[in-house]
Structure 1
């Protein structure tokens, strides 16, 4: 961890360490008599030269959670979302679409499947934003629709939103399926090619 004290920070810097190493060389030249009476100038000069040629300080790159860690956090949020959805009363059609969407998201969040950053982003947006917002907006709008008339039934919008989200999740599932099929075909070609390579020639 980098210190906040500027003096200590310089003492630990590459410039000071490289300059000190070069200064030690100057002291060695002094002890051998090679520097002569100008040894202070030689030591200081070598220290300065070392500080100049030292590579610049590079701040440590930020560390972000990898795909596995992101999925762990997303699964925890999905569990929280499920607890909220279990308390909401939905019309049968919307409830059925939500169940289908829930099952698909659960499958996508299983360990070992999704690792693509874009897929993770879409999943996180669905769990943390789209699904809870769709249901919460329905609950609020339904309350007002009971005291007013003439507007489109809020459950119809909810069904459309859940259908669109299911289609978006299905695209991720299809991409995963395509990737696994390519992986399978590649491995088949590899195994068959290896067998063909080591097959003894016919007499």
Structure 2
């Protein structure tokens, strides 16, 4: 059986293992006679309770091979980041914001656009540190927030972080757009001035 089988993945999951341990406790209770004729319900109920309280599976945060601010390295790490993000469960709003940020970063990382080392450094930091840390922290916090009433929802924090990162990437895109507009204007003046 392949390890990618959903049944095998569930059999190895934290939810199944925790549920099985709780179910075994239920079997122990049943063997003492405390559960009476309802022992199957006790065992099943304890398994279900264990599966519900178990922490969710979370994909491992990506490890990036590159550390410098070379465009090719950042592009390779961006592909790694995308594979990680595809495995993470997010709310619809957070996924929408992440998709918008992903699209913008992808466009900025196209060869020939970002030449300023400072802009490339910001994009490298966004890909290698900011997005993975924001998403991983959300995944970890989301489970614990079930036990803490009145706390701010982790989705709100993630959405605000993604909005701030999108704003930062938009500033880079705006700077590139302005630079291209100036370049076009200068070239127009140059071409028109040759005729005089």
TM-score range, shorter chain: 0.5 to 0.7
2:167 is the alignment partner of 1:167:
yes
3-state SS in 2 of match to 1:112: coil
How many residue pairs end up in the alignment?
A: 130
**Please, which runs of 5 or more residues in structure 2 have no aligned partner?**
1-66
> What are the residue-to-residue correspondences of 1:98-137 with 2, within 5 Å?
98-137=98-137
1:146 Cα deviation (Å)? 1.6
> Structure 1 residues 66, 102: CA separation in 2 closer, same or farther (over 3 Å shift)?
closer
- The structure number with the bigger radius of gyration is 1
Cα distance in 2 for residues equivalent to 1:90 and 1:195: 59
Corresponding residue for 2:88?
88
**Please, which runs of 5 or more residues in structure 1 have no aligned partner?**
1-64, 197-203
Cα distance in 1 for residues equivalent to 2:195 and 2:96: 50
> What are the residue-to-residue correspondences of 1:142-181 with 2, within 5 Å?
142-181=142-181
Describe the superposition over 1:145-176 as per-residue Cα deviations: whole angstroms up to 9, x where unpaired: 12222210000000000000000000000000
With structure 2 as the length reference, what TM-score do the two structures score? 0.64
Cα distance in 2 for residues equivalent to 1:147 and 1:66: 41
With structure 1 as the length reference, what TM-score do the two structures score? 0.62
Output the aligned Cα RMSD.
1.5
Corresponding residue for 1:75?
75
